[in-house]
Structure 1
Amino acid sequence: MTLPVHNADEQLLQRQGYDQQLHRGLSLWSSFSVGFATVSPVVGIYSVMSLGAMSVGPSWVWIVPLCLALQLLVALVYAELSSNYPLAGGCYQWVKRLAGERWAWFTGFMYLASALASLTTVAYLGGFWLWLFFTGQPPSANAQVVSGAALLLLGLGVNLFGINPLKYFVNAGIVAEAIASIGIGVLLLVFFRNHDFSLVFEGLSATATTDSSYLSGFLTAMAVGGWAFLGFDACSQVSEETADARTSTPRAILRSMILVGLTVMLTAFAVTLSYTDTAAMVSGQVIDPVTPAVVDAFGAWAERPFVGVVLVAFIACVVSVQTYIGRAVFGMARDSILPASGLLRRVDKRKVPFAAMVVSTLLASLGLALGLNATAVGTLIAFGSGGFFFVFLIVVTCALLARLTGKWKPEVGAFTLGRWGVPVNLAAFVWLLFESINVAWPRVSLAPPDAPWFQVWAVILVFSALAVLGLVYMVWAKPYNRAFK
């Protein structure tokens, strides 16, 4: 007899050693929406466009489809893992089963550090748009920090009300993303294009790299381009709240990655071909070419509505990031491997891991204080992106070794890559090894002017310090020994 979907989900969860504590109220669309809002084409394009153009000129747009194709390899491995182990905790749970409790704890620790840095970064960047929307003026350093804190509080409030309000906010973000990225991108490309398509094949002479070489600029653009495709694993963190998770979660991961990638690609081409002063964009004189392109095309009246749409997209991104971090903390705390695990694994009457949500938001708020110093916040942003690639590398490596040794074979009924499993996994490993080194590589061109040496080396220094801290704690406290078997 075929079991109802929810019963089948709960039985699968019980076979993994856990009871259903969260509310399984997300559909495939809702899970996709969480992933889409987390990766966020609006946040992505604002993160990479200016730096990409400064690195290799207008031809930077071709970095987007290249990074999408390569990062899609990682998403395929994650989709297979999430279908086999649809558990809150994501990468921690997968590594636990593939490589053991020690590596699982270390992976989870580094993942939480990277995710919290990411939440702080998105809130800080979103604070700019919040202040701009209400005042019409760019914020001071203090004002941007306060605005970022306000976004974190708003996101926490939405999350504490349960999974249904979360769905509405994330859906609003999807609409905002569609307007700001797809709708405006198409209009710019069709009606307001100021350059011939040949422009995107030009590197121009103003490539802002230390040795003026196109290869160096290309590698820098690749490092920056990868930043636009982080967060797709958010779908796996809400697996225990997704109906028919074994089928829905891998689909949500792949669909969110592909649609975000195509949307970023559209916006990249549209803004590059419609922005009039290409030389200023390439030289770094214009940090935000998107808003001027919109205002020049549609008129001054469009600026405030556009800022509002971008703000909604940032709010949805903050809400989604908080959601998956809370579930990641919950997924580790119920194995009793975090400090105060007894508190962090509690679920309230709305089926929300409220303590995990509050604690993670407080930690991200503390990180906002770094926004008072441009050098410090730059270090945080660099680590937030670099840390994720290192975690991806750990997970993909564990999956590859488990395949090759026969320790892991995808289960019947789960999403599987079949005979392509090893080739795709191996290709993802090579890509992540390259990109992890590429992102961590110390580059003066990606640091603010006159930045101290430690910011240039930020990813390596911060990751090394956290890795040493995590390893020392792991050896001393042996938290993995408390994990439920």
Structure 2
Amino acid sequence: MSEHSDAARLEALGYRQELRRSLSILGNISMGFAVVSPVVGLYAVAVVGLGIAGPAWVWALPVCLLGQALVVCVYSELASQWPLAGGAYQWSRRLTGPAFAWLSGWMWQFAVMFANTTVAYLAAPWVFTLFGATPSPRDLVLVALGFMLFCTLVNAYGINFLRWFVSLGIAAEAVASILVGLSLLLVFRQHGFSLLTETLGAPAALGSTDARAFLAVVAVGGWAFIGFDACVSTAEETKDAARQVPRAMWWALLSVGTVVILNAVAVELAHPDPAAVIAGRDLDPVTTAVVSNFGGWAPKPFVVVVLVSFTACLMASQGGAARGLYSLARDEVFPFSRQVRRVNRHKAPIGGLVAATLVSCAALPLGLNSSAMGTLITFGSAATFVPFFLLTAVALIARLRGRWTPSGAVSYGRLGTPLNALAVLWTGFEVVNICWPRTILAPVGAPWYQVWGALLGVGLVTGAGGLYLLARRPDRRMRDHDSGHGQLDELAPAVR
């Protein structure tokens, strides 16, 4: 499809082309790959998973990957039919009423911004590792803030500049994930595969059971497989987006999922003393496995590679958040829409970038009182899985009522409805599982708001969105906008 055809398709959906449409399918995949990120996914959850459930925690990863594959099935049909930035908001308004659609978009947008908070916070310790320093909680928050501002600056120079940085991050991923993972598994393995069925007493040491510990790990493990919707965020900058965005989501999820599982297994089997992680004597099992096997020269280069990967992940995710805000603001249904919808001379959504950065930074104080890794992972995951659940549920209801029949380039036919139903069950389960307050995911002696962080975050965003909806009635503006664009749904006349 030519760029002119893409622009015409966008105009038929009620919008004009304002962003630079220059991404190929490889460029779109790179955005999704960078955000899902095997380095960020694995290194963030490995220490938490191993400490809670022992080596057996790795079995949570294929469970989470399968569940997220169900979500991608639904997303693929939607993205193919409506290839628009701000996917959850744009799709929901075509599947259900304006009020619910707006709230769904609001929740999704804050989910991405809070996920950025988590990525920035998890990246901060690696800076101190590089220099051999021990950070205080305040130091971690300040460095995370620096990460956020640097990524905002890069994003401000437009999609092509962002793509260059993301490509560098993917190269780092290839070294840190594939090469290192295969080497650990094939050359430096120190334990038999039977270790992967052992808990080494980790649940009992925390006063939990094996089943409860596994559920907690599934709550954390979901973090490793979110972010594929970044492919949707750049749909209006991707050539032939209706066909290429669904493909890019699948490539991003499955490639990252394979690498994460490979590396999780490799790290455990090559780690010299997994029991030390459970006892709290080793707070960085991934680095320990690498350094103890590759030798003393490895730590600095390895940390640099990991930092590059985290930075690329945050850049791509922040870019997606900005584009989602741009999508809401151009319909004048987001606070300060006139400022948020601004596009600069590099055709970057600069207003969305500034707003996304401010919101993401506002959540960083969660980490001020004590180490907040487990809390922030569940905080970011909960904010993401709620929109997953809302969107899959709305799509399923529209199918069952006969209001939506997928008519894009991607359709699963009769399988679409049962796959959608399974996606609703999975995401609903994960929302409850992630939001369930657990002391084992927070540091010893952590304040109450860290234990309840996920539920508080979801409640705060939902409450704020509900109040804005009642006070400003953005759903009415959505109705006015739709009535002024009779072609809003020309691609799916069955949706009414």
TM-score bracket, normalised by the shorter chain, equals: over 0.9
Task: Work out whether 1:291 is the aligned partner of 2:249.
Answer: no
Find 2:27's aligned residue among 8, 27, 30. Answer: 30
State the Cα deviation string for residues 205-254 of structure 1 (Å, max 9, x = none).
23257554211111111111111111111110110000000011001111
1:462 to 453, 457, 468: 457
**What letter is aligned with 1:108?**
G
In structure 2, what is the equivalent of residue 434 of structure 1?
429
Pick from 438, 445, 460: which aligns with 2:440? 445
CA distance in 1, matches of 2:260, 2:438: 25
Contact 2:219 2:378 in 1 (8 A): no
Alignment deviations for residues 178-203 of structure 1 (CA, whole Å, 9 cap, x no partner) = 11111100000011000011111223
| More displaced 10-residue stretch of structure 1: 358-367 or 395-404 | 358-367
The offset of 1:53, in angstroms, is: 1.6
Query: What residue number does 1:224 align with?
Result: 220
- SS state of the match for residue 298, structure 2? helix
Bigger shift: residues 229-238 or 458-467: 458-467
Moved more, 83-92 or 108-117: 108-117
Q: Distance in 2 between matches of 1:469 and 1:367?
A: 15
Correspondence 1:389 to 2:385: yes
From 320, 323, 341, give the equivalent of 1:324: 320
Deviates more, 1:415-424 or 1:197-206: 197-206
Aligned to 1:479, which of 471, 474, 483? 474
Alignment of 1:117-128 (within 5 A): 117-128=114-125
Per the alignment, in what secondary structure is the counterpart of residue 285 of structure 1? coil
| Aligned-partner Cα distance in 2 for 1:70–1:437 | 15
State the match for 2:58 in structure 1. 61
1:353 is aligned to 2:338:
no
Structure 1 position 359, deviation (Å): 2.2
Q: In the aligned structure 2, how far is the partner of 1:105 from the partner of 1:395?
A: 11
Of 331, 338, 343, which residue of structure 1 is paired with 2:334? 338
RMSD: 1.7
Q: Distance in 2 between matches of 1:452 and 1:153?
A: 28
Partner of 2:108: 111
State the distance in 1 between where 2:248 and 2:205 align. Answer: 38
TM-score by length of 2: 0.93
Instruction: Name the counterpart of 1:241.
Output: 237
**In 1, Cα distance between equivalents of 2:294 and 2:375:** 36
How do residues 417-428 of structure 1 correspond to structure 2 at under 5 angstroms?
417-428=412-423
Mapped pair 1:72 → 2:79: no
Q: Which amino acid aligns with 1:151?
A: F
CA contact (8 A) 1:208 1:217 kept: no
- Opposite residue 464 of structure 1, the aligned amino acid is G
Match of 1:146 among 142, 145, 159: 142
> Which moves more between the two structures, 135-144 or 88-97?
135-144
Q: Deviations over 1:318-348 (max 9, x none)?
A: 1011100000000000110011111211222
Aligned partner of 2:432: which letter?
I
Question: Which region of structure 1 is more displaced relative to structure 2, 421-430 or 444-453?
Answer: 444-453
Tell me if the contact between 2:48 and 2:441 (Cα under 8 Å) persists in the aligned partners: yes
- Take 1:408 and 1:172, find their aligned partners in 2: how far apart are those partners? 41
Give the unaligned 5+ runs of structure 2: 483-496
- What is the rounded CA distance, in whole Å, between the counterparts of 1:157 and 1:202 in structure 2? 46
Q: 2 CA distance for matches of 1:62 and 1:30?
A: 32
Aligned to 1:261: 257
Distance 1:53 1:434, change over 3 A: same
Task: State the SS of the aligned residue for 1:301.
Answer: coil
Mapped pair 1:213 → 2:209 = yes
Match of 2:192 in 1: 196
How far 1:25 sits from its partner (Å)? 0.7
| Residues in 2 aligned to 1:423 and 1:381: alpha-carbon distance in whole angstroms | 30
Match of 1:374 among 370, 374, 393: 370
Name which of 147, 157, 160 aligns with 1:161: 157
What amino acid is the match of 2:38?
P
| Matching residue's letter, 1:425 | N
| Alpha-carbon distance between aligned partners in 2 of 1:436 and 1:145, rounded to the nearest angstrom | 27
Give the corresponding residue for 2:8: 11
Amino acid at match of 1:331: S
Deviation per CA, 1:389-409: give whole Å up to 9, x if none: 111000000000011111111
Q: Tell me whether 361-370 or 189-198 shows the greater mean CA deviation.
A: 361-370
Could you tell me how far apart the structure 2 residues matched to 1:209 and 1:433 are? 30
For the 8 Å contact 2:39–2:309, the answer to whether it is kept is: yes
C-alpha contact 1:370 1:377 (8 A) present in aligned 2: no
Q: Assess if the C-alpha contact under 8 Å between 2:125 and 2:135 holds in 1.
A: yes
Give 2:44's aligned residue.
Answer: 47
Change (3 A) 1:381 1:279: closer
Residue-by-residue CA offset, 1:114-133 (whole Å, 9 max, x unaligned): 22211122112212223433
Distance 2:367 2:431 in 1: 25
Letter in 2 for 1:249: V
Aligned 8 A contact 1:114 1:383 in 2: no
Task: Kindly indicate whether the alpha-carbon contact (under 8 Å) linking 1:120 and 1:367 is maintained by their aligned counterparts in 2.
Answer: yes
Q: Is 1:40–1:177's contact at 8 Å kept on the other side of the alignment?
A: yes
Q: Which amino acid aligns with 1:116?
A: M
Residue ranges of structure 1 left out of the alignment (5+ in a row): none
Separation in 2, partners of 1:130, 1:202? 33
TM-score of the pair, normalised by structure 1: 0.95
Matching residue of 1:173: 169
Q: Deviations over 1:25-46 (max 9, x none)?
A: 1110111111111011111112
- Give the 3 Å change call, closer, same or farther, for CA 388–131 of structure 1 in structure 2: same
Sequence identity (%): 45
Deviations 1:443-466 (A, max 9, x none): 111111022333322222332232
